Structure 1
Amino acid sequence: MNMDNANGNGVDEKEKAEKQVKNQYVSVQEYNGEGYTLKNGEETDKIAEENREEVEKAVKDFFLKEYKTDVKVHNIVGNVDGATVFVESTDPLHFYTYAVVPIDQSNEKILSDKVFSQEGQVESAITEGLYREIFKDEFDRLDEYLEKIANEEAVTGRTIKSLQNVGGSGYMTPYYFLSSSVSNDEAIKPVFELYMEDPQVSREKLRAAYNKKAFNPTYFEVVINLFMKEKETDPDEKVFNRVVNDIESMDDIPKGTYSIFVNDNTVLKQSFEGVKENSLEKTTPDEIIKE
């Protein structure tokens, strides 16, 4: 006979393991990015925090030089080779993204002249900000609809703090984020090029540059993520069906591909992820296409 089980230790270990898993999740209304980690980033995180002023300056200079964009630094998270710095653009477009500042760990030195971004990451963020800018009325309508759903149903969205601190995924709101790529999307490419020449160009000129005939909805995605307001509540199928049906029938929201998720009340602290096994979802290969 297993003495651990006989003494109840096996049960204790199981409960302890379940508690550890449960502690990795936090209510979406309480999550501000605390607990978010990147692999093997403990040491670089300390070095970056000790040299925060230098890290922030290096990142701001990088975005100004490479993308003609002013940014505000919200959060610094150590990674295996340096620090990942989460930022929010302040002018003229709005989006969240990040850059990486390499760190020489042996000398505890910030390599300010070697700041970089992941390939296509910032370009995609700018592209999404441009979509939000040139289709302002359509996005306003989508925002109004999702605010209405949050007021009328038992669902909510992410906190602004979490978007600022660990979002980093282009144009984001508490209820959705966008996904796009200027390298694939021929419709937005001339808009992107015009913006990069002159970030202060007017919305009218940006809209005029948009190549509507070249638009392919598979290259522009709106991912809606809703969460239950109450803790320990399963995703509501009635709400999910309402949102799916509404999005399918609305013709005054942005064109593109829509994925919809209704999740329970929690997100994973370490990764910002909210989609789990019990989430209700309408996504690949069954997305909503609006052309």
Structure 2
Amino acid sequence: MKRKIIGLLTSLLLLGGCFNMNEKTEQEKVQEGTTPVQDYVGQGFSFVDGDKSAERVKKHEEEIKQEAINYMKTKYKTDVKVNNVVPARNAAVVMVESEKPIQFHTAVIVGLTLNKDEVGSARSEEGEVEKAIVGGLYAKAYQTEFDNLDSFTEKIAKKYDLLGKRNEAINKTSSVGYEKEYYFIATAALDFPSVYSAYLKNQEISVDDLKVLFSKDDALNEKMVIAMNFFSKKDSLPKQDIVNNLAMEIQNESGLPKGSYETTVFKNLIVNRAGLPNGESIDAKDIIK
């Protein structure tokens, strides 16, 4: 399961073959700037060679935004709003959010035509929008359980003196899909073909129908992963037993969404340019609920 989470986090760093968010070592990232998670709202978030296209992106920002909105509506039949437009190598990465009929964050890449002062076509990293949609559908199908998870994570974070990502940071930097302060849904659309296909046919698919389809695609609740991410209030890690206790409380709590829970506690700092945790982490054993 850990391999799946690492792959999903890597997808945040690789939005297309022509540029990387992160091509440097851990030490280099530390040197170029970090921010405590409680203060990070997306400042410094950037892509490789974005400075070279920044002027063109600024000039055509409204057109770029509309291209991303149109792409999501045309290909995925979903309305989105734009939270951030970030210059990249010969492109702009548009961080978008869907609020209705489902909620998720994802990214659309809008190209800039080489040697011309024009905006090109939009695209997305393979599978990224699809998995975001599936995560949003899961949260819709089990809204009560996710409301319980929100309350529960707030409670245990306070109990163990831990922090989560700010909503402003999620809006401006996240493309992982359905994400909240202390967790995100990590899954692949290929694992839920019935769910995804049904949404493309009917964006107003009912909760009851979604539950049937999720059960069909994942009868044993093994494919749906909920990554629980907490941060220390200091740039140091807690003891392993604290992380184990967090996982134990998750295991014992009733009324939470079904799935495989992976619990991680990071140090306090966020790498500005990547919007991701900096440094080491402590993990607990995966739990299937």
Of the three residues 141, 162, 167, the one matched with 2:169 is: 162
**Structure 1 position 221 matched with structure 2 position 243:** no
Structure 1: distance between partners of 2:206 and 2:146: 18
* 1:20 Cα offset (Å): 8.5
Structure 2: distance between partners of 1:176 and 1:264: 16
Contact 1:191 1:207 (C-alpha < 8 Å) held by counterparts: no
Partner of 1:10: none
Structure 1: distance between partners of 2:212 and 2:197: 13
Contact 1:233 1:264 (C-alpha < 8 Å) held by counterparts: yes
**Structure 1 position 49 matched with structure 2 position 53:** no
Of the three residues 255, 260, 272, the one matched with 2:258 is: 255
Structure 1: distance between partners of 2:196 and 2:29: 46
Identity over the aligned pairs, expressed in percent? Answer: 29
**TM-score, L = length of structure 2:** 0.84
Of the three residues 200, 205, 209, the one matched with 1:201 is: 205
Partner of 1:9: none
The aligned amino acid for 2:229 is N
Partner of 1:210: 214
Partner of 1:288: 287
Contact 1:133 1:203 (C-alpha < 8 Å) held by counterparts: yes
Give unmatched runs, 5+ long, in structure 1. 1-17
Of the three residues 17, 21, 28, the one matched with 2:30 is: 21
Give unmatched runs, 5+ long, in structure 2. 1-26
- The 4+ residue runs of structure 1 with deviation greater than 4 A are none
Deviations 1:234-259 (A, max 9, x none): 33545323211112223432222221
Deviations 1:163-188 (A, max 9, x none): 00011110000101111112123xxx
- 2:94 is paired with a residue of what secondary structure? strand
* 1:191 Cα offset (Å): 2.7
- 2:80 is paired with a residue of what secondary structure? strand
Partner of 2:237: 234
- 1:163 is paired with a residue of what secondary structure? helix
Contact 1:44 1:105 (C-alpha < 8 Å) held by counterparts: no
Alignment of 1:269-280 (within 5 A): 269-274=272-277, 276-277=279-280, 279-280=281-282
Contact 2:271 2:278 (C-alpha < 8 Å) held by counterparts: no
Partner of 1:139: 146
Partner of 2:11: none
- 2:171 is paired with a residue of what secondary structure? helix
Larger radius of gyration: 1
Structure 2: distance between partners of 1:30 and 1:242: 27
Partner of 2:15: none
Structure 1: distance between partners of 2:151 and 2:239: 21
* 1:210 Cα offset (Å): 3.3
Contact 1:227 1:235 (C-alpha < 8 Å) held by counterparts: no
* 1:267 Cα offset (Å): 0.9
Contact 1:190 1:211 (C-alpha < 8 Å) held by counterparts: no
Structure 1 residues 20 and 71 mapped into 2: Cα distance closer, same or farther (>3 Å)? closer
Contact 1:55 1:110 (C-alpha < 8 Å) held by counterparts: yes
User: Relative CO higher for 1 or 2, CA cutoff 8 Å, sep ≥ 6?
Assistant: 2
The aligned amino acid for 2:168 is K
Of the three residues 127, 132, 151, the one matched with 1:125 is: 132
* 1:53 Cα offset (Å): 0.7
Structure 1 residues 20 and 212 mapped into 2: Cα distance closer, same or farther (>3 Å)? closer
Structure 2: distance between partners of 1:174 and 1:226: 9
Structure 2: distance between partners of 1:31 and 1:161: 8
Deviations 1:117-156 (A, max 9, x none): 1111111000000111111222222211101112333111
Q: CA RMSD in A?
A: 2.1
The aligned amino acid for 2:225 is E
**TM-score, L = length of structure 1:** 0.83
- 1:133 is paired with a residue of what secondary structure? helix
- 1:183 is paired with a residue of what secondary structure? helix
* 1:67 Cα offset (Å): 1.0
Structure 1: distance between partners of 2:178 and 2:83: 16
Alignment of 1:22-171 (within 5 A): 24-111=33-120, 114-171=121-178
The aligned amino acid for 1:255 is K
The aligned amino acid for 2:200 is M
Partner of 2:14: none
Contact 1:261 1:275 (C-alpha < 8 Å) held by counterparts: no
Structure 1 residues 190 and 20 mapped into 2: Cα distance closer, same or farther (>3 Å)? closer
- 2:276 is paired with a residue of what secondary structure? coil
